[in-house]
């Protein structure tokens, strides 16, 4: 009888462990699904580039580096700048038309170099959404003006991440220039 109880307990533990693993996979897949549904997404979105020395610019995502770009020739006076993006795929954004740097159009930049700041003049909670749509489920709230990494974009929406919080940020809360407060 003790053996039968031991076998039942082991089966229950194994079953619970399998459920926990599948729950983890589902949660992870859901997080990535929020971005994957927007792969090769058209954008009309301007963001701020951040870098210490320069930004590698690629011919295509995960492709060959075409050049290293910086806004100013003198590193002591380079405060970065903004670029318009026209397309996105997971962790990459494609550069759109730019009057000051037309040679960069159609090249790609990794999202880790792209940052925005939120506007929050009324000190309200800023919602992040599962999809770039205000009717979508919220993934959380930002409670203050924040600097956020941009992972993707869809039209004027940005898919952002700060610490463990990520989701789609509505356009009205986006300040694309981190050296101003967008007033």
Are 74 and 139 part of one and the same domain?
A: yes
Are 94 and 161 part of one and the same domain?
A: yes
Stretch (H or E) spanning 174: strand 174-175
Per-residue confidence at 137, pLDDT binned at 50, 70, 90? Answer: very high
Rg (the chain; Cα; Å): 21
Are 26 and 86 part of one and the same domain?
A: no
With a cut of 70, say whether residue 19 has pLDDT above it: no
Comparing 48 with 168, which gets the higher pLDDT? 168
Are 142 and 66 part of one and the same domain?
A: yes
Q: What is the pLDDT of residues 74-131, one digit of tens each?
A: 666 666 778 888 988 888 989 999 888 899 999 999 988 888 888 776 778 899 999 9
pTM over 0.75: no
Comparing 28 with 161, which gets the higher pLDDT? 161
Residue 20 lies in a domain: yes
Q: DSSP states of 115-135 as a string?
A: EEEE--TT-PPEEEESSSSTT
CB-based burial label for 144 (10 Å; 0-12, 13-18, 19+):
exposed
Counting residues of the chain whose pLDDT is more than 70, the rounded percentage is: 68
pLDDT, residue 76, reads 66
- Show Cβ contacts of residue 112 under 8 Å, excluding neighbours closer than 6 positions: 91, 149
**From CA 153, how far away is CA 183, in angstroms rounded?**
23
pLDDT, residue 178, reads 55
**From CA 22, how far away is CA 44, in angstroms rounded?**
37
Token digits of residue 13: 């533990």
Range of the domain at 31: 1-36
In this structure, how many other beta carbons lie within 10 angstroms of the beta carbon of residue 163? 6
């Amino acid at each position: 009888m003790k053996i039968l109880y031991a076998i039942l307990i082991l089966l229950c533990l194994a079953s619970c462990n399998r459920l926990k693993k599948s729950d983890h996979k589902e949660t992870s897949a859901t997080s990535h699904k929020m971005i994957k549904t927007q792969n090769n997404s058209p954008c009309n979105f301007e963001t701020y580039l951040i870098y210490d020395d320069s930004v590698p610019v690629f011919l295509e995502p995960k492709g060959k580096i075409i050049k290293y770009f910086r806004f100013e020739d003198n590193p002591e006076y380079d405060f970065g700048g903004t670029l318009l993006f026209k397309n996105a795929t997971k962790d990459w954004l494609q550069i759109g038309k730019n009057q000051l740097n037309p040679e960069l159009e159609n090249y790609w930049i990794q999202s880790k170099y792209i940052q925005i700041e939120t506007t929050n003049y009324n000190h309200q909670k800023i919602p992040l959404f599962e999809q770039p749509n205000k009717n979508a489920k919220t993934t959380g709230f930002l409670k203050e003006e924040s600097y956020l990494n941009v992972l993707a974009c869809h039209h004027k929406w940005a898919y952002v991440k700060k610490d463990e919080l990520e989701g789609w940020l509505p356009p009205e809360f986006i300040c694309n220039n981190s050296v101003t407060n967008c007033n």
